[in-house]
Structure 1
Amino acid sequence: MMMFAFIIGLLLYVIFKVFVRAFYVVKPNERAVITSFGRAQRISEDAVQDPNLNADEQQRYRYPLLRTIGPGGPYFKWPWQEVHKVDIATQSIDLTWDPTKHQKTIEAVTKDNLTTGVDGQIRYRVSASHLYAYCFGVDSPLEHVMGYFISVLRERVANFVDPKGQSLVDGTELAEQGGSAAAELSEGVSINDLRKNLPLLNDYMEQQCRSTGARYGIELDAALITQIDPPPAVDRALSAINSTRNQVAADISTARADAEQQITMSKRAVDIASNNAQAEVAPLLELAGTLAEIKASGGPQALAAYVRNMRIPLLGRARRIVQSAVTGTRPAAVADH
């Protein structure tokens, strides 16, 4: 009886182990790797070449190309085989994630020797072409990627310099760029430079972390560094510096605007005076030209007749006429209007 029960139990175990657990399904966002007695099934023993690795790293991270099973099923496996399923969907994680400790921010030291906190996220996904590195290369690939990312981030923060901040601080471009340069006088302080150039910092991190796929089997999709917060005392000092520099920038802009306004007004006043002078001179020039033509065509008698005829309306409007006689000259009449 006991032998019969043992045989029944053995058959049930074999049925469960071989037939029930032998079938598996791979979801659309998953890829599967099969190991037989602990050895992964390979397509090629040649290492996967990655252009983001240098020659030394290519020798260090020599991982074979594995045979992967795509979405679908049910698939069958033998009892001595094991299925390793990997989620290849894009995921996000905070920079502060660390399985060994709890932290609210990532501390980094700037080139000004100021300790600042960095917060943000990274988007990542498991590389389908580097599953050996992810499944068998290291024990905790995500932890390695986070450590690598943070070390590169701290190195970049410690050496970051705004590409245009230096020229703006020394004032060489103020005359060329006008008000836009004055608004950026807060540059030159490392934390301000970092805050103003977060997209540039994120692009640098993405470029430097392109090799994580070949190293650890995880590809960095995007770096999303959103906050750079110094300690409260440093933040208050920076606020005071920024306020002072902004005030200086505002004063420079106001003075430049006033100077430009005065120059414009002076130019317009000169133009108005020139036009008035031309308006006063134009009738005299026209009269002189008319008199010259009369004298040229009719002689002095015609010119004297023209002058006499022009006096007649004036004498008609005069209230009194004063005639004076000077020795050696003809009497002259002066009309008092």
Structure 2
Amino acid sequence: MIEIGVAAGLALYCIYAFYRCSFRVEEGHLAVLVAFGKAATHDGQRRLKTYGPGIHWKKPWERAVIVSMKEQTLDLNREEGGGSAMADDGTILRLDSFVRYVPVQSELYEFMFGLERPLDHITGLFTCLLRNEIANFRGSEPEVAGAKAASLATRFDFASQAGSYALIRQQRRLLNERIESFCRLKIDDRYGVRFNAVDLADILPPDELADALNAVIQARSEADALLHRAEAECQQRIVAAERGVSVATARAQAIETEIRALCAFLDDLDEKAVLEAYVARRRAEVTSESRTLFVKEPATNGKRVESGA
């Protein structure tokens, strides 16, 4: 029994020693060893000694700190008041923004040990940066050439009503480019991370401005509906008038064709010297079918005499 207990104790000790003397690093992560509060570095410099994915050995008193090297997203709205910013015209805008960053292996010391709370520090830094850029954002000079004039007129009309809110929404890409440029020139890898972008997922106006814009949009929609209805009615009347003109024109052309055919027929009879006989025969046919006949007789003593039968 004693031998079994000793063997079990040795087995447990070996398992514990293996657990204390090894650590595992997942793919996309790096590990740094810390012993008695000091991180392992190369030649005592601020460049950390890192371990890649896999199983590694360490001393029992060393502690492995795992750091993700994947691109990470930091929500700037988690800080109190971080989801709002004042624009150039004093409008308080509500923002839904995120920071995308990747830790830099060569500057990992600054990210892990140079800041007390690195994520809170980055959040505060970019919140201030975003507010400053929005407060000083003027946009770019508009293009007023060619076929874009009409669309630009509509856009600037909307911008004149919505102010900085409309300008920032229209030129959000320019705002992102300015923030990225500032990060590359001023921040770079100072904090041990590389900032890929600041994403403005959404920009919302104040409730009062939103209500006013909705009222304007509704009024424009109603005006456009009335305009389209009036245009449709006018178009229907124009189409009906055009159809009436075309019907009258066709009827007149048919009558003209009939008259021309009759004239040609009478000319042919006249050339054959039978026109008077044809007229007399037609007169006889008409008078034979009539109930009342008015005959015009030659004037007698300068008076005209008409008789009816």
Which consecutive unaligned segments of at least 5 residues does structure 2 have?
A: 1-13
Pairing 1:69–2:51 present = yes
Check whether the contact 2:30–2:68 (CA below 8 A) recurs between aligned residues.
yes
Pairing 1:283–2:282 present = no
Q: In the alignment, which of 213, 228, 242 is matched to residue 242 of structure 1?
A: 213
1:207: Cα distance to partner?
4.0
Check whether the contact 1:142–1:218 (CA below 8 A) recurs between aligned residues.
no
Check whether the contact 1:33–1:41 (CA below 8 A) recurs between aligned residues.
no
Partner residue of 1:60? none
Aligned pair in 2 of structure 1 residues 206, 112: CA closer, same or farther (>3 Å)? Answer: closer
Check whether the contact 1:92–1:123 (CA below 8 A) recurs between aligned residues.
yes
Partner residue of 2:161? 188
Check whether the contact 2:87–2:136 (CA below 8 A) recurs between aligned residues.
yes
Check whether the contact 2:180–2:198 (CA below 8 A) recurs between aligned residues.
no
Q: Which deviates more from structure 2 when the two are superposed, residues 309-318 or residues 84-93? A: 309-318
Pairing 1:155–2:126 present = no
After the TM superposition, which residues 73-84 of structure 1 pair with which residues of structure 2 at under 5 Å, given as runs? 73=55, 75-77=56-58, 83-84=64-65
* Separation (CA, whole Å) in 2 of partners of 1:153 and 1:309: 106
CA RMSD of aligned residues (A): 4.9
Partner residue of 2:244? 273
Residues 99-135 of structure 1, C-alpha deviations (whole Å, 9 max, x = no match)? xxxx254331112212344344445443456535533
Residues 33-81 of structure 1, C-alpha deviations (whole Å, 9 max, x = no match)? 4689756339xx9xxxxxxxxxxxxxxxxx97x76432111x1246898
Residues 167-193 of structure 1, C-alpha deviations (whole Å, 9 max, x = no match)? 9xxxx738x99xxx59x8486323652
* Separation (CA, whole Å) in 2 of partners of 1:284 and 1:221: 80
1:271: Cα distance to partner?
1.0
Aligned pair in 2 of structure 1 residues 240, 138: CA closer, same or farther (>3 Å)? Answer: closer
Aligned pair in 2 of structure 1 residues 248, 38: CA closer, same or farther (>3 Å)? Answer: closer
Q: Which deviates more from structure 2 when the two are superposed, residues 140-149 or residues 277-286? A: 140-149
The one-letter code of the counterpart of 2:293 is: I
Normalised by the length of structure 1, the TM-score is 0.60
| 2:201 aligned counterpart, secondary structure | strand
Q: Which deviates more from structure 2 when the two are superposed, residues 138-147 or residues 197-206? A: 197-206
Aligned pair in 2 of structure 1 residues 318, 144: CA closer, same or farther (>3 Å)? Answer: farther
Task: Tell me how many residue pairs correspond in the alignment.
Answer: 280
Partner residue of 1:24? 23
Q: Which deviates more from structure 2 when the two are superposed, residues 113-122 or residues 24-33? A: 113-122
Q: In the alignment, which of 108, 126, 131 is matched to residue 103 of structure 2?
A: 126
| 2:78 aligned counterpart, secondary structure | coil
Check whether the contact 2:83–2:97 (CA below 8 A) recurs between aligned residues.
no
Residues 280-309 of structure 1, C-alpha deviations (whole Å, 9 max, x = no match)? 312321123213322444425444555556
Which consecutive unaligned segments of at least 5 residues does structure 1 have?
A: 1-14, 46-62
Check whether the contact 1:294–1:303 (CA below 8 A) recurs between aligned residues.
no
* Separation (CA, whole Å) in 2 of partners of 1:222 and 1:310: 100
Partner residue of 1:253? 224
Aligned pair in 2 of structure 1 residues 239, 33: CA closer, same or farther (>3 Å)? Answer: closer
- Identity between Structure 1 and Structure 2 (%): 21
After the TM superposition, which residues 1-337 of structure 1 pair with which residues of structure 2 at under 5 Å, given as runs? 21-33=20-32, 38=39, 40-41=41-42, 68-73=50-55, 75-77=56-58, 83-98=64-79, 103=80, 105-128=82-105, 131-135=108-112, 138-160=115-137, 173=150, 185=158, 188-190=161-163, 192-193=165-166, 200=173, 204=177, 207-208=180-181, 211=184, 214-216=189-191, 217-220=193-196, 223=199, 225-226=201-202, 228=204, 230=206, 235-236=207-208, 238-239=209-210, 241-299=212-270, 301-305=273-277, 307=279, 314-315=286-287, 317-327=289-299
Check whether the contact 2:42–2:49 (CA below 8 A) recurs between aligned residues.
yes
Partner residue of 1:57? none
Partner residue of 2:7? none
Aligned pair in 2 of structure 1 residues 258, 305: CA closer, same or farther (>3 Å)? Answer: farther
Check whether the contact 1:35–1:41 (CA below 8 A) recurs between aligned residues.
no
| 2:90 aligned counterpart, secondary structure | coil
1:147: Cα distance to partner?
2.9
| 1:41 aligned counterpart, secondary structure | coil
